[in-house]
Amino acid sequence: MRFERVWSGEDWETYAHALVQLRHGPENVQRVPAKVSGDAGLEFFTTNGCLIQCYAPEETSDTAKSSSAMKQKATSDLPKLIKNSKIISGILQDLKARRWILMCPFLDDKDVIRHVRVKGQDILAANLSFVTRDFEALVHSQEDFSVEIATLKRQSLGPKLAYEPPSDAAIAEKSGEFADKLEAKLRHAYPDMQENTLREKKELYVRGFLRRENAISALRRSYPALWEQLINSIGAEETRLSLFGSTETQPAFRLRESLGRIEQSLGRDLPSMPSSLITDLSVGTLSDWLIRCPLDFD
């Protein structure tokens, strides 16, 4: 199974929380808010004694750099269990901590495990009241949650996805940025179209592009597993277009065919998504292709 490696810290924490809830049950996982005086060295904990700290390295392709960053995270955060022992003891009450887990999107270097376990021994030696004698510090990644990830991907979208419609200012800004390339392609596709109609169509494509970007951001934030499926589905269709092109020769028909293929692909790969969202994503993807050139009329 292929796993997404690039995450923002906030998105990774949200995703990791969903995975831990699936494994332990939502009623057995407590998030620790950081808004007031920080998170005391843990993002959330489970009622069977796991303290979990999330970390998504900014560097994802250089193993040495990402591994060094993970080690630094453990070096800085594990001692917080000692520094904040009174706070953590108050949060846990009678619960005893058996594990401290650094949860990362990926784990490439086994020396990170060695480093984290060594730092965990320092915590054990501190004889903290809330730590058991078999306490261990570990590193987990998405590979350790493959079953939960597969379950997330099968789940429905749930409540209606909320995402902001593009503002007039954003549309005007993007219209200026993409105007020449987009207008040239639309003129090629619709050579007999009147100027005002062409401008309206161009604005619709820009609006569609921005709606797609807002929807993708909302998906990644609230439904990261579905977001990953979406990116894979769009990427596969773009690869197909790049390799084989379109069966249509007329530009206007090629636009229509490409839109239909995107909608079919998303509907097949993401059956839990409402049709209105699939339409927004499909129109926006077509706009993106026109702007970036995967869909050309030469």
pLDDT digits 0-9 by tens, 19-42: 999 999 999 999 998 876 666 778
Tell whether 3 is covered by a domain: no
Question: CB neighbours (10 Å) of residue 227?
Answer: 20
Tokens of 86: 């009174």
Give yes or no: residues 160 and 118 share one domain.
no
* Type and span of the H or E element at 161: none
Rounded mean pLDDT of the chain?
86
Task: Output the pLDDT for position 146.
Answer: 92
Give yes or no: residues 129 and 175 share one domain.
no
Which among 125, 52, 134 has a CA at the least distance from the CA of 88? 52
Which among 154, 147, 153 has a CA at the least distance from the CA of 23? 147
Share of the chain above pLDDT 70, in %: 89
Q: What are phi and psi of 194, to 5 degrees?
A: -70, 155
Supply the DSSP symbol for 58. S
Number of domains in the chain: 2
pLDDT digits 0-9 by tens, 239-292: 877 776 656 556 667 778 888 888 888 888 777 778 888 888 888 888 888 877
Task: Output the pLDDT for position 177.
Answer: 66
Residue 66 has pLDDT above 90, yes or no: yes
Give yes or no: residues 141 and 99 share one domain.
yes
Give yes or no: residues 82 and 106 share one domain.
yes
CA distances from 68 to 8, 11, 65, 117, 280 (A): 18, 21, 5, 15, 41
Span 161-175, average pLDDT: 77
Give yes or no: residues 142 and 18 share one domain.
yes
Give yes or no: residues 131 and 189 share one domain.
no
User: 124 is in which domain, residue-wise?
Assistant: 9-153
- Domain end position, chosen among 153, 172, 204: 153
Return the higher-pLDDT residue of 288 and 60: 60
CA atoms of 26 and 75, how far apart (whole Å): 29
User: 3-class DSSP state for residue 97?
Assistant: strand
CA atoms of 112 and 101, how far apart (whole Å): 12
User: 3-class DSSP state for residue 96?
Assistant: coil
User: 3-class DSSP state for residue 202?
Assistant: helix
Which among 99, 101, 113 has a CA at the least distance from the CA of 67? 113
Give yes or no: residues 131 and 264 share one domain.
no
Give the DSSP letter string of 211-277.
HHHHHHHHHHHH-HHHHHHHHHHHHHHHHHHHHH--S--SHHHHHHHHHHHHHHHHHHH-TTS-HHH
Give yes or no: residues 257 and 169 share one domain.
yes
Yes or no: say if 51 and 24 are a contact pair by the CB < 8 Å rule. no
Which among 103, 176, 170, 142 has a CA at the least distance from the CA of 1? 142
CA distances from 244 to 8, 33, 199, 264 (A): 34, 50, 31, 17
